[in-house]
Amino acid sequence: MKLSKSDIPMVKQLLFIDQVPLRKVAERYNVSIRTVERWRRKYRVFGGPYAPTPKSVVQRRPKLLTDAQIEVGIVFLSFMPRLTVS
C-alpha cells in the first residue's frame, strides 16, 4: 500500500511518538505487520516511509571527457606499441 502524503506524518507519530503497537498500525492502514516494520526501518534510515528515488542519482557515464582525462589518454596511448597491418 502506498501512503498518501497526509498519512505519512500520522504514521510517524503513531510509530515513534505514541509508540502504538505495530499490529494496531497495520490494522488501521490495512497492511501487514511486515509492511509496518519496513516503514519504521525506512523512517529511521531515510526519514520517511520510502527510500529516495534512484532518479536523483546520476547513473550514466559523463558525455564529455575532461581535459585531464584526455591528457591521461594521450600519455597512455603514447606508450602503446604501434600496430602494423600486413
What does each of the 86 residues of the chain score in pLDDT, given as a tens digit?
A: 678 888 888 888 998 889 999 999 999 999 999 999 998 998 888 888 777 766 656 666 666 888 898 899 888 888 887 766 65
Cα distances from 19 to residues 25, 49, 53, 69, in angstroms, run 10, 16, 28, 54
pLDDT of residue 77: 86
pTM, rounded to two decimals = 0.56
> Where do we find the cell 502504538?
20
Number of CB atoms found within 10 A of residue 7's CB: 15
**Res 34: pLDDT:** 94
Q: How do the domains of the chain map onto residue ranges?
A: 9-49
